[in-house]
Amino acid sequence: MKNLRYLLIPAIAAILVVLSACKKDFDDLEVKSDAEYAFPLFFGDLKLQKLIENSGDSISLQIDANGEMRFKYSGNVVSRTTDEIYSAIPAIPALVTDTFYGVPVKLNNNITIKKADVSAGTVFFTYKSYHTQNVTVKITIPELKKNGVAWSTSRYLPYTGNTPITDVILPISVAGYSLDIPNDTMHIRYEAVKQDGQRDTLSSFAMLVNGLKFSYMEGYFGNEVFPISRDTIHLNIYKNLLGGELYFEDPKVTVNVFNSFGFPVRSKVNIVKFKGSKGEEYDLESPYVTNGFDFGYPKITEKGKTVITSFSFDKNNSNIVPILNSSPVALDYQIDAIANPDSDPSIIGFMTDSSYFLVNVAVDLPIYGRAKNFLLEEDFSSDFGKLDGFREAEFKLLTENKLPLDATMQMYFLDANGQKLDSAFTQEQLLIEAAKVDATGIPTGVSKKETIIQFNEAQLNAVRKTKTIRVVAYVSTTSGGTVPVHINASQGLSVKMGAKAKLTNKL
């Protein structure tokens, strides 16, 4: 939140409007020597939700259906796709030494494939015949099928009086075929039939499968690490905290994962630490930082489904409460993910060419807590030149507060050089009184407060050159900041302000 004043001390905005309204009324007054005028300056209802929307900070604010509010500061959304995580499938060469020959299919990082739909790739063959007669050759890959029919090709080698007869079968596409190898082995079968009808063997028989891509794969995909970029989340809610205490009762760091890879995945927490405004560092401590936590994944029967996992480091499983209550300004984190963390090759999973893994980390601060002398300070531009001719004035401020927050404030009047001319009170005054709450911290009524602000002639003379009003506020929750309270979007503050002023004949 860029400007915390819009949440905790909405009356400041009202006071600023009051001062602007004063200037307009001064222009319209009919001047009468030594007369006294009483007139309203401002009245209105300041709804908390509206003030937050006007502050420009609503992007960090979420409002639940029941009006409960929370600030959520999110890191960048990081996604990883199949192409980004798994390297290209290497070429599969084989020197075929028998008419039915098994070729083990082992990919990088101990990945084994049981089933796959081929979207791209070629097969290449070369062999020699030393037979002194014509030979017909048929090559079949039984585990590679389309519409239930195995891939095959036939060749005719005419004998022209010289041996060996060398045949080269240029790369042939196998896109659109399905591979089914439950024993991790693809077989090559060839039949070499001589002109006399006898079967025989060939020499120097070699095969190369190259450029394979799969639209779907089943198998064991290894103990692979999905790298996730390091990121920093800035906690703007603490930027305006100049002093005092601010406590959240139920803060969380939430990791949201969207996973369409069909195999077990576990977090690998490399870095999760908060940083203070003066460079302090606080490590998040939790068994789930040390050991990780598991993410959900779709089963083989759920091809195309994305499973969402939301895991939170909270007050019950980590030291998040004392860390956030030390007013950190940033969260630095790097959380990777490990595929098949138990390295169990018997777990058969799947992935597609459109599978993805998406991670988002957020700091979640439900607005349920307590504040004690939470110090805020803001400057507002103003011009008191229109006060010429007034010898004294009295302002009456009436507030009706449904928020469980009170504010003790002081206003300083500064000239064009930033020098203090005077203050509104001899000491800070309670201008807004907190609403009472029940045992659960929910406001139960309305607190009313009346404040008189008086300016005599000497004070008015002192502030005529005012260009800036500096408002300093100490905000506390109900009962002096000792009781955790809930703040609801529908809660707000009603403000009325009137003025009584005496004029001189110098106008």
| Residue 6 Ramachandran class (φ > 0 left, ψ -120 to 50 alpha, else beta) | alpha
Which tokens go with 225?
């690490």
Lowest mean per-residue pLDDT among 32-46, 251-265, 293-307: 32-46
Nearest one of 92, 339, 347 to 220, comparing CA atoms? 347
Torsion, Cα 267 270 274 276, to 10 degrees, reads -170
Residue 366 CA, distance from chain mean position: 16
Indicate whether 188 pLDDT > 90. yes
pLDDT tens by residue, 484-503: 888 777 777 787 867 677 76
Question: What digits encode the pLDDT tens for the residues 423-475?
Answer: 888 888 888 888 888 888 888 889 998 988 888 878 777 777 888 878 787 88
pLDDT digits (tens, 9 = 90+) for 201-215: 999 999 999 999 999
CA distances (Å), 8 to each of 48, 237, 292, 470, in order?
A: 9, 11, 38, 17
451: DSSP letter? E
* Digit-coded pLDDT (tens) for 159-174: 999 999 999 999 999 9
How far apart (Å, rounded) are the C-alpha atoms in residues 316 and 319? 8
CA distances from 465 to 76, 135, 421 (A): 48, 110, 8
- Domain 88-220, CATH: 2.60.310
Render pLDDT for 121-161 as a digit per residue (tens, 0 to 9).
999 999 999 999 999 999 999 999 999 999 999 999 999 99
pLDDT at 242 over 60: no
Q: Are the CB atoms for 124 and 207 separated by under 8 Å? A: yes
Global confidence as pTM: 0.71
Phi and psi based region of residue 389 (left: phi greater than 0; alpha: psi -120 to 50; beta: remaining): left
Angstrom distance (rounded) from CA 228 to CA 220? 22
- Indicate if the pLDDT at residue 6 is higher than 70: no
Residue among 428, 399, 397, 389 nearest 412 (CA)? 428
CB of 105 closer than 8 Å to CB of 212: no
